[in-house]
Amino acid sequence: MADLAKVAPARPLRRGMDRGPVREFLVFGLAGELYGVELTGIKEILSPPPITTVPRAPREVVGVCSVRGLLVTVLDLRRRLRLEERGPTRRSRILLAMADTGEVSGLLVDEVRQVVRLAEAEIEVAAQALGGDLAEHVLGVGRPGGMFLILLDLKAIVKD
Amino acid sequence: MAEISDKAREEFFSEAQEIIETLSRNLLALDTASREGSYDPSLINEAFRAVHTLKGLAGLFGATRLGSMSHRLEDLLDALRLGRMVLSAETLDVLFSAVDAYNKVLELEKAGIDQSLPEVDALLGKLDRLGAGVPDRSSPVSEYEFDAGMLAVLTEYEEHRLKVNVEQRLSLYRLRVQFDLATIDRALEQIKERARLHGEIITYLPTGETTSADSIELDLLMASKDTLATLIGALGADNVVIEEIPRRRAPDAPAPRAPLQSNLAMPLPSAPVRAGDSMPPPVRETDRGGPMEKERSLRSLTQTVRVDIRKLDHLMNIVGELAIVRGAFSRIAERVRNDGQRQLAAELMRLHRNFDRRLSEMQEGILEVRMVPLGQVFERLARVVRQISRELHKEIRLVITGAETEIDKLIVEELSDPLMHMIRNAIDHGIESAERRAQVGKPNAGTIALNAYQKGNHVMIEVEDDGRGIDESAIVERAVQLGKLERADVGELAREEILGLIFLPGLSTRQSADDVSGRGVGMDIVKTNIGKLGGVIDVHSEVGIGTKMTITLPITLAIVSALIVRAEAQVFALPLASVSEALSLDEASVRVLDGREVVTLRGSTLPICRLSRLLNLERAQDSLTRQGFVVVVALGSRRLGLAVDHLYGQQDIVIKPLGRSLRNVRGFAGATELGDQRVGLVLDAAALIEEMLVGSEQPRERAGVAHG
Amino acid sequence: MPRILVVEDSSTMRAFVRAALEEQVSSVGELSVVEAASGFDALRLLPRGPYALVITDINMPDINGLELVRFIRSSEQHQATPIVLISTQSSERDQQRGLSLGADAYLAKPFTEDALRRVAFEQLERTRLKASPNG
């Protein structure tokens, strides 16, 4: 179980005064790509606890686990985004995200990298370019410090 | 003035003597109680009345020393009972010295000796130093919608008691009671006895509404911190109608009416609210309160609402029924989609999701409302302890911890009796007499500890005493005598098993337990009552040191007992309520009937459903070697044998609903923590039966594919 | 013989009142005292009236004297029966309250036999005059 304080701090970015409010994104790896989700939507980052599989569950559901008494449904983000499947590894983490309804879901990702700060103007609307199943969950892309980040809309992912 | 006869004088002295004895008893009780922090105010009033009567009598018989001393004491006690003075240790000392002085004075008066007494002079001096206190004329009782008639007949003392209770923010109730005139004294004592545990009866008012010549109706004005529901539960009867007297306005609101009006810019209801329509029964409309007052009282009522627990149960039942509706909803949506109406199906599903979410919130909300702190019942117990210790002349120190621990309201209600019983036993049979305690070097006051704390999904309550402990040999002896135990088996019993014998019916009867076992009566009933709440009770005892009884209770009644089973490598919980029996599966006896596996159980055919196939579970390593079991689940007259690979036994579980992404998964009632962070799915027996025996073709086909 | 109901929880006080009233003949003739040791006793004894006078202590446990006054005044049988309150000197408020509820007089403890007789006889006489305005 890692908490947010241990995540590497963001490298300061240069930006102009007129680039809009700055948002913080948590960067994680998934099937060889880097993704970002807004930090405010993440409650906690966990090393995967024992997960109980749920027979008859939708494919994207890994199973259920208990986080200090709270029952959490864990979604495999690879499956959720219809990416190539792979079982959890030592570096796998679960991001706990809270939906508008108050329900907390877990998102299984390959690894957690760092937190970056992006001004509004640094977020490129690029959903069309990605196409397919991913499009509805993507806010845009960002390129902080030479990275290529696909920014996901966390709310849309845990909503359904 | 006529000669006073010798007989009258004799009577006077004997009554005076009695009064002084009563006074002395009252003071002792006051002393004990005030050291514990609070005392029954009626003790002071009784002391006042004793002195008051003495003064009156002294006047009649010309006993001037007795008269003047009583007069001064009466003033002091009057100030105390009307709250103009606080009862201090110093005041109590003065009162005790008054008893001594009274005895001396009475002796002299009886002997007809007229001489001054230094004790009386000293007493009068002390009384002077104590002063007379400050009169308090404010009256907060106008905050309540009183029947004006009721207020008019209160004596100054009763009005003071009313005021004190109102200031403590207690609720006021009117108990309308019908009494049979012939038995009124006994009936009234009974009601007083019970009422004492819940608050203070301030006055008894005959209503004058007599239904027959042999009966009488009284209004009892009572102040209590308990809810109307609690009082109805404790005191309600055919002849007792309890109503709450509504508060008129917030207690801190200023009393004068004129400036109050300008504060009230609230619109008045366009139609007058009829009393009794949707409000707690108001007592009677008073002329003093205009519409403004009325409005005010309506608003203050909305802050907190007292709810009968049965109404919450009813709401919970509705939630259960709505859950069934929810199931039907999703099936319809599925059918609509299969018919090709995708858009309509999507809309239905959206509605269904919304419904589902709100339903879960509602369930949680209701559960939350039901939780109350155990302090409610502990306070009642503290009063019982005081009372019993007084009755039995044993000094008891009650130590309470964890009063803030929360538990289901329904459990709290049912806990009161068993705990009261256990505490009575602890004081009566556990705590030794003061002499005995002194002999064995224990402090004079016995200690009863009442501890509560939460442990996982359970609340633990300990009742511990530092008394004599339980005599195991006496218990064994009694059990053998009663034929509950073979003498030959005695040696094999562990300590806990022996102590557990006290819960056998008949074992803790009065004659056996009294002073023999050190544990009192009716422990079998206590155990049964705790069991009804899903709780268990354990005993630990050391002879000479004390006894500790530990009650383990579920936090809420949403906790159920379940059978823990395994199919392949996966562990499931199956609520016991739907399990009728479990037996081992003899593979050789399984036949196939109409394409379904069945076994014969006591002459009838039982369809079998293999959980591993139904749920398409991954094969575990030991698949081929294991011995199977059949758990028979029943829903009404329908039975189904669930074939599983292993039975782990019984466990209490809290069922938590599955998340929204799993809402369409059938066959599970939720999930629960099984310990060491592992989560087990809770099987929904009803859904499985429905699916296997009456459900649509679709799931059965799916199951067929899975093992085909 | 006119009967007087005395409600008082001290037996000595009741005996004293009985002696004082039964010893001397009043303007309405010889008197007989009926004793009630509590408010409830009084409630039991009242239906067995009529009584020419009720004398009651105010400060009694359970049903107090004021409540008794209200009850008596609201009952058809006794609404005209004169009531004398016995109370402590100190509690003016209780005395006033009693009078406003319909009691006719009060006596503060301690009192003498004479004072008691004076107040009691006055009430009995008043009722007699009211009952027979011509006589």
Q: Where are the alpha helices (DSSP H) in B339-462?
A: 342-370, 375-392, 409-425, 434-439
Does C23 reach chain B within 8 Å, measured CB to CB? yes
Classified as helix, coil or strand, B517 is: coil
Is residue A120 situated within a structural domain?
A: yes
Domains of chain C (ranges; CATH) run 3-130 (3.40.50.2300)
Does A127 reach chain B within 8 Å, measured CB to CB? no
> What local confidence, expressed as pLDDT, does residue B371 receive?
81
Chain B residues near residue A58 by CB distance under 8 angstroms = 661-662, 664
Instruction: Compare CB distances from C71 to B5, B75, B206 and report the shortest one's residue.
Output: B206
DSSP string, B177-239: EEEEGGGHHHHHHHHHHHHHTTEEEEEEEE-S--SSTTEEEEEEEEEESS-HHHHHHHH-BTT
Q: What is the pLDDT of residues B160-178, one digit of tens each?
A: 788 878 777 788 888 888 8
Q: Which of residues 33-62 of C touch B (CB under 8 A)?
A: 39-40, 43-44, 47, 58-59, 61-62
CB contact under 8 A, A60 and B357: no
Is residue A146 situated within a structural domain?
A: yes
> What local confidence, expressed as pLDDT, does residue B450 receive?
92
Chain B residues near residue A71 by CB distance under 8 angstroms = 656-659, 670-671, 679
Does B334 reach chain A within 8 Å, measured CB to CB? no
Q: Can you tell me the distance from the alpha carbon of B325 to that of B695, in angstroms, rounded to the nearest whole number? A: 16
Parts of chain B with a pLDDT under 50: 1-2, 249-303, 509-519, 695-708
CATH number at residue A126: 2.40.50.180
Instruction: Compare CB distances from B213 to C47, C65, C90 and report the shortest one's residue.
Output: C47
Q: Read off φ and ψ for residue C129, nearest 5 degrees.
A: -65, -40
CATH superfamily of B559-707: CheA-289, Domain 4 (2.40.50.180)
> What local confidence, expressed as pLDDT, does residue B212 receive?
67
Supply the DSSP symbol for B620.
Answer: P
CATH superfamily of B390-554: Histidine kinase-like ATPase, C-terminal domain (3.30.565.10)
Chain A residues near residue B678 by CB distance under 8 angstroms = 50, 52, 66
Sign of the dihedral through C-alpha A38, A41, A46, A50: negative
Q: Can you tell me the distance from the alpha carbon of C16 to that of B306, in angstroms, rounded to the nearest whole number? A: 52
> What local confidence, expressed as pLDDT, does residue A94 receive?
95
> Looking at the domain that runs over B137-247, which CATH code has it been given?
3.30.70.1110
Which subunits count as partners of chain C given 3+ CB pairs below 8 Å? Answer: B
- Residues B224, B199 contacting (CB under 8 angstroms): yes
Q: How confident is the model at residue A36 (pLDDT cuts 50, 70, 90)?
A: very high
CA separation (Å) from B705 to B144, B614, B684, B699? 72, 10, 22, 10
Is residue A14 situated within a structural domain?
A: no
Is residue A39 situated within a structural domain?
A: yes
Domain that includes residue A84, residue range: 4-8+20-158
Q: Can you tell me the distance from the alpha carbon of C16 to that of C7, in angstroms, rounded to the nearest whole number? A: 12
Which subunits count as partners of chain B given 3+ CB pairs below 8 Å? Answer: A, C
Q: Can you tell me the distance from the alpha carbon of B336 to that of B683, in angstroms, rounded to the nearest whole number? A: 27
Does C77 reach chain B within 8 Å, measured CB to CB? no
Chain A residues near residue B657 by CB distance under 8 angstroms = 71
Does B152 reach chain C within 8 Å, measured CB to CB? yes
Do chain A and chain C touch with ≥3 beta carbon pairs under 8 Å? no
Chain B residues near residue A75 by CB distance under 8 angstroms = 661
CATH superfamily of B6-130: HPT domain (1.20.120.160)
Q: How many beta carbons lie within 10 A of that of residue B351, not counting itself?
A: 12
- Report CA B114 to chain centroid distance, whole Å: 59
Does C131 reach chain B within 8 Å, measured CB to CB? no
Nearest-neighbour CA in chain B from A108: distance (Å): 15
Does B43 reach chain C within 8 Å, measured CB to CB? no
Q: What is the pLDDT of residues B264-307, one digit of tens each?
A: 233 333 333 333 333 333 333 333 334 444 333 333 333 456 66
Chain C residues near residue B141 by CB distance under 8 angstroms = none
Domain count of the fold of chain A: 1
Does B12 reach chain C within 8 Å, measured CB to CB? yes
Q: Six-digit token pair at B650?
A: 């019984």
The continuous run of DSSP H or E covering B699 comes out as helix B697-707
Report the DSSP pairing between strands B199-206 and B215-224: antiparallel
Mean pLDDT computed over A29-33: 91
Nearest-neighbour CA in chain A from B162: distance (Å): 47
Predicted confidence (pLDDT) at residue C121 exceeds the cutoff of 90 = no
Q: Can you tell me the distance from the alpha carbon of B683 to that of B667, in angstroms, rounded to the nearest whole number? A: 6
Q: What is the pLDDT of residues A72-105, one digit of tens each?
A: 999 999 998 888 888 888 899 999 998 877 678 9
CB contact under 8 A, A103 and B659: yes
Is residue A123 situated within a structural domain?
A: yes
Nearest-neighbour CA in chain C from B163: distance (Å): 16
Does A46 reach chain B within 8 Å, measured CB to CB? no
Is the previous residue joined to C50 through a cis bond, with omega within 30 degrees of 0? yes
Instruction: Compare CB distances from B78 to C61, C90, C100 and report the shortest one's residue.
Output: C90
Is residue A15 situated within a structural domain?
A: no
Considering only residues B353 and C6, tell me which one the structure prediction assigns the higher pLDDT: C6
One-letter amino acid for residue B425 of the chain = N
Q: Which of residues 90-109 of C touch B (CB under 8 A)?
A: 90-91, 93-94, 97, 100-101, 109
Determine the angle formed by the axes of helices B309-338 and B409-425, rounding to 10 degrees: 140
Q: Can you tell me the distance from the alpha carbon of B633 to that of B576, in angstroms, rounded to the nearest whole number? A: 9
Q: Structure pTM?
A: 0.39
CB contact under 8 A, A57 and B570: no
> What local confidence, expressed as pLDDT, does residue B532 receive?
66
CB contact under 8 A, C110 and B149: no
Chain A residues near residue B673 by CB distance under 8 angstroms = 66, 69
Q: Can you tell me the distance from the alpha carbon of C87 to that of C109, in angstroms, rounded to the nearest whole number? A: 6
Is the previous residue joined to C110 through a cis bond, with omega within 30 degrees of 0? yes
Predicted confidence (pLDDT) at residue A15 exceeds the cutoff of 80 = no
Nearest-neighbour CA in chain C from B142: distance (Å): 17
Sign of the dihedral through C-alpha B32, B36, B39, B40: negative
User: B123 CB contacts (<8 Å, ≥6 apart)?
Assistant: B69, B94, B97, B98, B101
> What local confidence, expressed as pLDDT, does residue B369 receive?
79
Nearest-neighbour CA in chain B from C121: distance (Å): 16
> What local confidence, expressed as pLDDT, does residue B631 receive?
94
Does A60 reach chain B within 8 Å, measured CB to CB? yes
Do chain C and chain B touch with ≥3 beta carbon pairs under 8 Å? yes
> What local confidence, expressed as pLDDT, does residue B265 receive?
30
Chain B residues near residue A69 by CB distance under 8 angstroms = 673
Instruction: Compare CB distances from B666 to A52, A56, A60 and report the shortest one's residue.
Output: A56
Which of A64, A94, A157 should one mutate to test binding to chain B, selecting the residue with the greatest count of B CBs within 10 A?
A64
3-state SS of chain A is CECHHHCECCCCCCCCCCCCCEEEEEEEEECCEEEEEEHHHEEEEECCCCCECCCCCCCCEEEEEEECCEEEEEEEHHHHCCCCCCCCCCCCEEEEEECCCCCEEEEEECEEEEEEEEEHHHCECCHHHHCHHHHHHEEEEECHHHCCEEEECHHHHHHC
Does A57 reach chain B within 8 Å, measured CB to CB? yes
Q: How confident is the model at residue A1 (pLDDT cuts 50, 70, 90)?
A: very low
Q: What is the pLDDT of residues C40-83, one digit of tens each?
A: 888 888 888 789 899 999 888 778 888 888 888 888 788 888 99
Nearest-neighbour CA in chain B from A50: distance (Å): 6
> What local confidence, expressed as pLDDT, does residue A34 receive?
93
Q: Can you tell me the distance from the alpha carbon of B446 to that of B437, in angstroms, rounded to the nearest whole number? A: 8
User: B595 CB contacts (<8 Å, ≥6 apart)?
Assistant: none
Q: Read off φ and ψ for residue B170, nearest 5 degrees.
A: -80, 160
